[in-house]
Structure 1
Amino acid sequence: MTTSTGSEPSAAAPLLDLQGLVVAVRRRRRLWSSMALLGMLLGAAVAVLMPPPPTAVTKVLVAHQADQPNDPGTLIRTDAALLQTTQIAGRALQSLKSTQKPEDFMKAYAGIGLTNNLLQITVTGDSDAQAVAWAKALADAFVADHVQRIQATADAEAKTLLDQRDRMQTELAQVNKSIGDAPQQSGPKASANTESLYARRAELTARITDFGQRAAEARVGTPQLIAGTQVVDAPRTVRVSLPRTAATNAGVGLVLGLVLGLVVAAIGAVVADRPVLRRDIAGSLGVSIISELPRRSPWLWRRKRIRAARERLTASLARTVRGSAEPLSLLELGCARGTSLIALELAGALGAQEPVVVVDGLPGSQLSGRRPKPGDPTVVSGEGGAAEAHQGRRIGVGSVAPGTAWTDLQYLGTRTVLVVRAGHGSVAWLHTVARQLADQRIPVVGVVLIDPDPRDRTDGTLWDGPRSAPRGPSERGALQNGGGTSHAVQAVGEGRAPTELPSWARVPDIDQEAR
Structure 2
Amino acid sequence: MTTSTTSESSAAAPLLDLRALVVAVRRRRRLWYSMALLGLLIGAAVAVLLPPPPTAVTKVLVAHQEDQPNDTGTLIRTDVEVLGTTRVADKALQSLKSRENPEDFMRTYRGTGLTNNLLRIDVTGDSDAQAVARAKALADAFIAIHVGRMREAAKAEAQALLDQRDRMRVELDQVNKAIGDRSPGSDQKASASNESLFSRRAELTSRIADFDQRAAQARTGTPRIVSGTQIVDAPHAVHHSLPKAAATNAAIGLVLGLVLGLALAALGTVVADRPVLRREIAANLGASVIAELRGAPRRWSVPWQRRRARTARERLTTVLARTVRGSAEPVSLLELGCARSASVIALDLAETLKTDGPVMIVDGLPGPQLADRPQKPGGPSVVGGERAAEVSHEGRRFGVGSVAPGTAWTDLPYLGGRTVLVVRAGHSSAAWLHTVARQLADLSIAVIGVVLIDPDPRDRTDGTLWDGPHTASRGHDERAARQNGAGRRRTEQLPVWAARVPDSDQEAR
Same fold (TM over 0.5): yes
Where 1:383 maps in the other structure, the secondary structure is helix
CA 1:485/1:353 → structure 2, altered by over 3 Å: closer, same or farther? farther
| Aligned-residue offset at 1:175 | 1.8
Contact 2:448/2:470 (<8 A) preserved:
no
Describe the superposition over 1:368-400 as per-residue Cα deviations: whole angstroms up to 9, x where unpaired. 233434444211122211111424332111111
2:308 to 305, 312, 315: 305
CA distance in 1, matches of 2:489, 2:234: 91
* Matched letter for residue 391 of structure 2: E
Partner of 1:334: 337
Instruction: Map residues 179-258 of structure 1 onto 2, 5 A cutoff.
Output: 179-180=179-180, 190-258=190-258
Partner of 2:173: 173
CA 1:352/1:207 → structure 2, altered by over 3 Å: closer, same or farther? same
CA 1:146/1:24 → structure 2, altered by over 3 Å: closer, same or farther? same
| Aligned-residue offset at 1:487 | 2.9
Contact 1:357/1:388 (<8 A) preserved:
no
Q: Which moved more, 1:342-351 or 1:477-486?
A: 477-486
Contact 1:357/1:389 (<8 A) preserved:
no
CA distance in 2, matches of 1:469, 1:65: 88
CA distance in 2, matches of 1:375, 1:81: 91
Contact 1:348/1:377 (<8 A) preserved:
yes
Point out where structure 1 has 5 or more consecutive residues left out of the alignment. Answer: 492-499
CA 1:213/1:379 → structure 2, altered by over 3 Å: closer, same or farther? same
Q: Which moved more, 1:31-40 or 1:456-465?
A: 456-465
Structure 2 residue 143 is matched with structure 1 residue 150: no
Contact 2:444/2:478 (<8 A) preserved:
no
| Aligned-residue offset at 1:178 | 2.1
Describe the superposition over 1:67-124 as per-residue Cα deviations: whole angstroms up to 9, x where unpaired. 2222222211221121111111111111000000111111111111111111111111
Partner of 2:267: 267
**Percent of aligned positions with the same letter in both sequences?**
70
Partner of 1:132: 132
Structure 2 residue 509 is matched with structure 1 residue 508: no
CA 1:330/1:97 → structure 2, altered by over 3 Å: closer, same or farther? same
| Aligned-residue offset at 1:202 | 1.7
Contact 1:467/1:486 (<8 A) preserved:
no
Partner of 2:438: 435
Q: Which moved more, 1:151-160 or 1:456-465?
A: 456-465
CA 1:162/1:389 → structure 2, altered by over 3 Å: closer, same or farther? farther
RMSD: 2.5
Partner of 1:325: 328
Where 1:352 maps in the other structure, the secondary structure is helix
Describe the superposition over 1:401-437 as per-residue Cα deviations: whole angstroms up to 9, x where unpaired. 1222222211211000000000011111111211111
| Aligned-residue offset at 1:267 | 0.7
CA distance in 1, matches of 2:379, 2:479: 31
CA 1:155/1:501 → structure 2, altered by over 3 Å: closer, same or farther? same
Contact 1:479/1:485 (<8 A) preserved:
no
Where 1:351 maps in the other structure, the secondary structure is helix
Contact 1:479/1:486 (<8 A) preserved:
no
Describe the superposition over 1:215-271 as per-residue Cα deviations: whole angstroms up to 9, x where unpaired. 111111221121111100101111111111111111111111011001100111111
| Aligned-residue offset at 1:321 | 0.2
Contact 1:172/1:205 (<8 A) preserved:
yes
Point out where structure 2 has 5 or more consecutive residues left out of the alignment. Answer: none
Where 1:349 maps in the other structure, the secondary structure is helix
Structure 2 residue 414 is matched with structure 1 residue 421: no
Partner of 1:359: 362
Partner of 1:459: 462
Partner of 1:290: 290
Describe the superposition over 1:463-501 as per-residue Cα deviations: whole angstroms up to 9, x where unpaired. 12344359xx9996555335586838xx9xxxxxxxx73
Q: Which moved more, 1:409-418 or 1:188-197?
A: 188-197
CA distance in 2, matches of 1:7, 1:141: 79
Partner of 1:64: 64
* Matched letter for residue 312 of structure 2: A
Contact 1:274/1:426 (<8 A) preserved:
yes
Structure 2 residue 78 is matched with structure 1 residue 75: no
Partner of 2:98: 98
* Matched letter for residue 156 of structure 2: A
Contact 1:357/1:378 (<8 A) preserved:
yes
CA distance in 2, matches of 1:237, 1:509: 77
Contact 2:76/2:116 (<8 A) preserved:
yes
| Aligned-residue offset at 1:181 | 8.5
CA distance in 2, matches of 1:68, 1:382: 92
Where 1:57 maps in the other structure, the secondary structure is strand
CA distance in 2, matches of 1:306, 1:485: 43
Where 2:246 maps in the other structure, the secondary structure is helix
Per the normalisation by structure 1, the TM-score is 0.90
CA distance in 2, matches of 1:103, 1:378: 84
Where 1:303 maps in the other structure, the secondary structure is helix
CA 1:477/1:502 → structure 2, altered by over 3 Å: closer, same or farther? closer
How many aligned positions are there?
493
Describe the superposition over 1:180-207 as per-residue Cα deviations: whole angstroms up to 9, x where unpaired. 3979xx9877554333222222221111
| Aligned-residue offset at 1:128 | 0.6
Where 1:177 maps in the other structure, the secondary structure is helix
Partner of 1:494: none
* Matched letter for residue 501 of structure 1: L
CA distance in 2, matches of 1:337, 1:486: 39
Partner of 1:377: 380
Describe the superposition over 1:328-367 as per-residue Cα deviations: whole angstroms up to 9, x where unpaired. 1111111112112211221222122122221122223332
Where 1:270 maps in the other structure, the secondary structure is helix
Contact 1:289/1:448 (<8 A) preserved:
yes
